[in-house]
Structure 1
Amino acid sequence: MKIRDYIKDKGVFLIVNFIIFLVITISMIFYGVSFIFIFILGCIWFLPIISYMVIDYIKFKRYFANIESILENLDKKFLFPELLDKETFGVGEKFNEVLKEISRGMYEHLKYYKDIQIDYREYIEMWVHEIKTPIASTKLLIENNNSNETVKKIDNQINKIEGFVEQVLYYSRSDDVEKDYIIKEIDLNEVVKGVIKRNSRDFINKKIKLKLENIYETVYCDSKWIEFILNQIIVNAIKYSKNKGAIISVKSIELNNSIVLIIEDNGVGIEERDILRVFEKGFTGENGRIFGKSTGLGLYLCKKMCDRLGVGLEIKSKVDKGTEVNIIFPKCKVIAECKDI
């Protein structure tokens, strides 16, 4: 709180006192009172007022300095009322009480919506669990009758439905990755082959050539989450591949402090104006409009999960040349050295 702001706030009080003293001074001059007496009266009049204002200003300056200090060093600003010191002067004490009451109301409001969010997430997870049963039954029926070409096409669509159902489940859990992860040693080669096998039918149907090279690195991460991330990237590479001569290559390289898994395709690529927005929630870009059926959630989820797992994610692309996605794992000798999530 600056002194000019304080004086401005007390302006009416000072002006009223000055006018009253001026009227009294004029009256005393009119009746012949000596200037020494008027001066002494002025000192007696204004000295207590000035002293009071100085003390009052120091008190308010300390109070607001404390508030600014707390706010500056606090990440979660809404916790600020709980950290205020107890004040001895009435205005500060009352102001603190008001802030704490507002804070309590906000907590109740947040709790209400948090409970709604938890209920909704529990419903989604239950729905995903229930929908998996008819999907599994349908796939079993298809396996027993896979000689028909139409049945094979239905199987392909069921696989896509299964992928979207999995995306819903991971989206509902994406805010709580730290509650559902196990950091352990992972063989990248096994994870990549598992994802490729999962999408093998799409590779065959679209006649996409696959190049696997130098994937013998060991990293420390959660196998379930990283498999989901890799699957989203491979699915995108397949979706936006060329009709003829499509190639998807996967390899890993070792840098000084990291292991980089590189997924590269020679597909349609991404517009330069879209490349910086591909990780935004719901963003589909030019390719989403041309190819359709894009939710804009795949890469958003990948980036969000990578950030929470302490894994880097970069994307480079040129239109009609292809896209390169790099998943960057920090190099760890033991699990304890991995990033604390």
Structure 2
Amino acid sequence: MSLIRLILELLHVKKGMILLYALNTVILILASYIFYGVNDILYPLGVSAFLLLVYLGISAVRLNTFTGRLAAARTSPHLDVDDTDVADRLIFGTMNEIHDGYNSRIYQLGSSVKERNSLFSQWIHNMKVSVSIIDLAAESGSAEALRDIREENGKLTQSLEECLNMLRLEDFSRDYRPEKVNLHRLVTKAVNARKRDFIYMGVYPKIAVDEQVEVYTDGKWCGSMLEQVLSNAIKYSHKGGTVTVVSQMNEAGVLLTVGDEGIGIDPEDVPRVFEPFFTGKNGRDYRSATGIGLYMVKYTADKLGHSVRLDSQRGAGTQVTFTFSAK
């Protein structure tokens, strides 16, 4: 801060104190003249002016130090705080907390944007592969080519739906309505939504959910999670197998388990199933796997405040368990 600006700022800040000091000096001089007959006013004026200049000088130094620290606070991620100075601790301590909060938020946003860009890049790559296969199959025109076209068209549809869901998840708070939901009706609706998949794959659903149980969730988003888990259970089940949906209560809340009797997952792949685009060994054996479904299930469950756990054994099937709050 320049000297002239510092002086002007100081006079502006201390104008009330200066006026009060000047008034006090005048009263003292008048009192000395009236009660003691003192006619010499130069001495008390000189002493008063000297004390005022000393006070203003000390205030100017403090103001200059304070404005310098404020200027540093604009760019510094963290400021040293004098704990012995109450004003310093309150002002700059609060500014440090604000800095830390904004830095944390910026880091989270940066990570979110980076992750989203990675997801969309992979989606675009997957869709380009499908488009290329469709082009090649269309040139052939055989019955096998038509099957390939239908399969790749299904992948494109699935990828587009996942993209739209991800975009909606970015603005989750505006599209979220927590309410008390009947769990049996929620499960039945999700199973009916996958009825065609059950029929096509020759897999049978079995629902063992208490019809009286209610949980707090968002019906639409929770239904989307259940449909995704059911889709996976159907996809990796053997023909004639059963997909079971069971509920139970414990001290943690309401547990809902979707289990199948399918091929299961290798032990080394289980810890990574909720990572984006991770497909593991099953993904190499089943080309339709995208590795995004369970990632979105975990993401949605976290947003809804539910927990989700996956247990699996190769050749014995997979169980996905959600924990809901009943209060």
TM-score normalised over the length of structure 1? 0.52
Partner Cα distance (2:170, 2:320) in 1: 23
Report the equivalent of 1:237: 233
SS state of the match for residue 182, structure 1? coil
SS state of the match for residue 272, structure 2? coil
Q: Could you tell me how far 1:84 is from its partner in structure 2?
A: 2.8
Select the residue among 178, 181, 186 that pairs with 1:183: 178
Give per-residue Cα distances to partners, 1:97-133, cap 9 Å, x unaligned. xxx9xx9xx99xx79x98xx6xx99xx9xxxxxxxxx
Give per-residue Cα distances to partners, 1:154-198, cap 9 Å, x unaligned. 999877655443321221233442332110011111221111111
- The answer to whether the 8 Å contact 1:259/1:329 transfers is yes
**Correspondence 1:209 to 2:204:** yes
Partner Cα distance (2:199, 2:187) in 1: 17
Partner Cα distance (2:235, 2:217) in 1: 27
Q: Could you tell me how far 1:212 is from its partner in structure 2?
A: 1.1
What is the letter of the counterpart of residue 237 of structure 2? Answer: S
Q: Aligned pair in 2 of structure 1 residues 223, 80: CA closer, same or farther (>3 Å)? A: farther
Alignment of 1:58-73 (within 5 A): none
Q: Aligned pair in 2 of structure 1 residues 314, 81: CA closer, same or farther (>3 Å)? A: same
Report the equivalent of 1:61: none
Partner Cα distance (1:296, 1:245) in 2: 25
**Correspondence 1:300 to 2:295:** yes
What is the letter of the counterpart of residue 222 of structure 1? Answer: D
| Residue segments in structure 2 that go unaligned for 5+ positions in a row | 1-73, 83-91, 121-145
Alignment of 1:133-152 (within 5 A): none
Report the equivalent of 1:32: none
Report the equivalent of 1:194: 189
Alignment of 1:113-132 (within 5 A): none
Report the equivalent of 2:245: 250
**Correspondence 1:220 to 2:206:** no
Report the equivalent of 1:261: 256
- The answer to whether the 8 Å contact 2:252/2:323 transfers is no
Partner Cα distance (1:296, 1:169) in 2: 16
Q: Aligned pair in 2 of structure 1 residues 288, 155: CA closer, same or farther (>3 Å)? A: closer
RMSD between superposed Cα atoms in Å: 4.1
Partner Cα distance (2:169, 2:152) in 1: 25
Following TM superposition, the consecutive aligned residue runs of length 4 or more in structure 1 with deviations greater than 4 angstroms are 153-163
Report the equivalent of 2:168: 173
Q: Could you tell me how far 1:228 is from its partner in structure 2?
A: 1.0
Q: Could you tell me how far 1:296 is from its partner in structure 2?
A: 0.9
- The answer to whether the 8 Å contact 1:257/1:331 transfers is no
What is the letter of the counterpart of residue 287 of structure 2? Answer: G
